[in-house]
Structure 1
Amino acid sequence: MSLNKTKSWKVLLVSLAAAVSFSMLSACSSNNNNNSAAEDNSKAVATYKDGTITEKEFDLDTRVMKFLSPQQAQYLEIDAFKESILKQEVAFEYLAGKATDDAKKQAEKEADVQVTSLKTALGDTYESSLKEQNLTEAEIRTYMVRVLTVYQDMLLKITDDQVKAEFEATKGDFTVATLRHVLIGLTDAAGKERTDEDALKLAKEVKAKLDGGADFAAVAKEFSDDPGSKDKGGEYKDATLGTYVEEFKKAAQTLPLNTISDPVKTSYGYHIMKVEARTETTFDKLTDEQKETVKSTLASKNLESFLDKDLESLEIKIDLPKSSAAPDQTGSTNSGTKATEAPSASPAATEAAQ
């Protein structure tokens, strides 16, 4: 288990990080296969003021999504989810059409790099995975070019002043700290689930030991459920705080140095923390990679803003056939998945790119 936040913007298959939901990421499929356009006589499943997306195009994009993220395939059978993806696909096709030539050229270069990376990650399963979804490498690359064109265009529009302003608003995320923690998880080391009450009770017992003078490293090795730090005495050394989940990050930013915290609850369980060193970072000390991370965050925010506020202006009309896995009266699909559930994992291609 890692305390690091999921770097989900990597669905773009680049190494920059920002938080975007899977439904948004899946929408990055604005793939109009020009080579097959003349043969495409399928009906339009989406129309908007600047064009259409046909049933054949949407089917192709869906197969690409399943190839890149097989663990999310079940959601692509849910009507409400498919409609959301299709609307966002319209947005991406629209945005790609407005992108600059520089963005398109950079996207072409990056797509070549990422296809190679994907092939390496999948190894011997690459060709069989393509066949399973009836895809070619060229179709995967076309998908990536469209995604990356939108992304690169958004990055190119971000100014240095905007990067600096975003840093100032979030500079606590760039603070570097060395800390220790003991995680009392909602699942113990043997895989047995704990109730919230039991986890909190044990966390308080651990805090009492530490308050009584017990060695933090020894206690972490005995009690912690975090395999990423347990054997190191609970230590995370010189870590940038913005990489942690929100509740853990806030505690690490504000806890007085060398003080044992009260139990801090996150989705993982309860943490007893001690911050041993903490250094703020100024803008002039940012690395190029950190500045690119800020730009990526801004690009993500701009995309979210467009999807939230500007989709309606595209006058989208949807005409999708009903799925065989449509939700029943209880809100479950035929596969037993609740229609209201949102996918929690980042796509497989994202993980492969990492």
Structure 2
Amino acid sequence: MSSNKTKSWKVLLVSLAAAVSFSMLAACSNNNSSNGAGDNSKAVATYKGGTITENEFDMDTRVMKLLSPQQAAYLEIDAFKESILKQEVAFEYLAGKATDAAKKEAEKQADQQVNSIKTGLGDTYESTLKQASLTEGDIRSYMLRVLTVYQDMLLKVKDDQVKTEFEKTKGDFTVATLRHVLIGLKDAAGKERTDADALKLAKEVKAKLDGGADFAATAKEYSDDTGSKDAGGEIKDKALGGYVEEFKQAAQTLPLNTISDPVKTTFGYHIIKVESRTETTFDKLTAEQKETIKGSLASQGLESFLEKDLGSLDVKINLPKSSAPAGKSGTSNGGTEPTTAPSAEAPAVTAAPK
């Protein structure tokens, strides 16, 4: 399960109209490293007040591939590239409208993100950038544009909006201790299971538990969730908002100490028992949790601009066509990591903190 703490450049990881995850959305940033007198490449996008050149777009896609290589195949799909480029227009336009306060904070955040990438890559940092035909300046410029837009959106969020948003989503902040058994669509050896086979086994596990079998021992024997298996399926004192939607709904509504019917998620079938559940009130929220809500509202602000206001910029796209087929993305890992396919930002049951 994911913690609510998310690095700033990822807080905008939202699913947009074109099924774009933020790993891709972040690539919308126009870093302008190739902008200027030396850039004679053609314009691939024009809009009221500006253009984006082929070199600029190429730089953005190379940064995206570095930061999210599992998504790179989507950049070969024409419809997806066009969606990305339209969003890049939005980022360039909105960054130009940002306040000085937003720009100042974005400068600090960009430095932190570059340092985080450098630390993460360690000794391979220089060679990785060289292989991607990027410089540290390219990465920072890219981060700066994304973060400027994010910080500007964030500063527009008012306290009363945070409270209103909490009331709409307060179930996500309920803290629960629960146990579950995951029967995955792959077994422990990595062999594929059909949906029918997984459901059949899940029903057998449910029957054992209904018959009085010990939940912890059953989880250790059957569960494919490596994150909780050794703990007897226990996930202790976690906010429900971090779970995938189907699991979250079951955990919010299942009577305490009741064995659920199989609950299907993208990872397979779960048998769940909620042992405790405590609601959180607004006055009990931590500063970090309030910042998470503000981040969600900032993301919604960007999404609203893309859906309602981008058209007013009279965007015209002139990208060369490709014929590459859609690639596959995502992982199946027994429910311990978030999926990486577009629009699947919600973490799995026991995803590690980002």
TM-score category of the 2 structures, normalised to the smaller one: 0.7 to 0.9
**2:204 corresponding residue in structure 1:** 205
Give the aligned residue type for 1:63: R
User: What TM-score results when the alignment is normalised by the length of structure 1?
Assistant: 0.88
Checking the alignment, whether the CA contact within 8 Å between 2:216 and 2:232 is kept in structure 1 is: yes
Give the aligned residue type for 2:120: A
Distance 1:82 1:9, change over 3 A: farther
**1:67 corresponding residue in structure 2:** 66
**1:275 corresponding residue in structure 2:** 274
Checking the alignment, whether the CA contact within 8 Å between 2:247 and 2:263 is kept in structure 1 is: yes
Segments of structure 2 that go 5 or more residues without pairing to the other structure are 330-339, 346-350
Checking the alignment, whether the CA contact within 8 Å between 1:117 and 1:353 is kept in structure 2 is: no
Distance 1:247 1:35, change over 3 A: closer
The count of corresponding residues between Structure 1 and Structure 2 is 335
Checking the alignment, whether the CA contact within 8 Å between 2:4 and 2:292 is kept in structure 1 is: no
Distance 1:55 1:221, change over 3 A: same
Once the two structures are superposed, the pairs formed by residues 254-293 of structure 1 within 5 Å of their partners are 254-293=253-292
Distance 1:92 1:25, change over 3 A: farther
Spell out, residue by residue over 1:13-59, the C-alpha distance to the aligned partner (whole angstroms, 9 max, x if none): 35x47543545543433325268412222211110011111112111
Partners in 1 of 2:208 and 2:262 — Cα distance?
A: 13
Spell out, residue by residue over 1:211-270, the C-alpha distance to the aligned partner (whole angstroms, 9 max, x if none): 111111111111111111110010000010000000000110000001111111111111
1:228 corresponds to 2:227: yes
Give the aligned residue type for 1:190: A
**2:182 corresponding residue in structure 1:** 183
**2:53 corresponding residue in structure 1:** 54
User: What TM-score results when the alignment is normalised by the length of structure 2?
Assistant: 0.88
Deviates further, 255-264 or 25-34: 25-34
Spell out, residue by residue over 1:163-186, the C-alpha distance to the aligned partner (whole angstroms, 9 max, x if none): 000000000000000000111111
1:13 corresponds to 2:9: yes
Distance 1:17 1:6, change over 3 A: farther
Segments of structure 1 that go 5 or more residues without pairing to the other structure are none
Partners in 2 of 1:92 and 1:7 — Cα distance?
A: 25
Spell out, residue by residue over 1:279-311, the C-alpha distance to the aligned partner (whole angstroms, 9 max, x if none): 000000001111111111111111111111222
TM-align CA RMSD: 2.5
Deviates further, 240-249 or 304-313: 304-313
Partners in 2 of 1:176 and 1:7 — Cα distance?
A: 13
Give the aligned residue type for 2:202: A
Partners in 1 of 2:187 and 2:23 — Cα distance?
A: 33
Partners in 2 of 1:308 and 1:8 — Cα distance?
A: 27
Match of 1:39, SS? coil
**2:24 corresponding residue in structure 1:** 26
Match of 1:37, SS? coil
Spell out, residue by residue over 1:319-341, the C-alpha distance to the aligned partner (whole angstroms, 9 max, x if none): 11223xx14xxxx36xx669xx9
Offset, 1:198: 1.3
Distance 1:218 1:310, change over 3 A: same
Distance 1:124 1:91, change over 3 A: same
Distance 1:5 1:113, change over 3 A: closer
Match of 1:203, SS? helix
Partners in 1 of 2:159 and 2:4 — Cα distance?
A: 23
Checking the alignment, whether the CA contact within 8 Å between 1:18 and 1:296 is kept in structure 2 is: no
**2:134 corresponding residue in structure 1:** 135
Spell out, residue by residue over 1:158-207, the C-alpha distance to the aligned partner (whole angstroms, 9 max, x if none): 00000000000000000000000111111111111111111111111111
Deviates further, 176-185 or 37-46: 37-46
Checking the alignment, whether the CA contact within 8 Å between 1:176 and 1:280 is kept in structure 2 is: yes
Offset, 1:71: 2.3
Distance 1:34 1:135, change over 3 A: closer
Offset, 1:343: 4.2
Distance 1:199 1:26, change over 3 A: closer
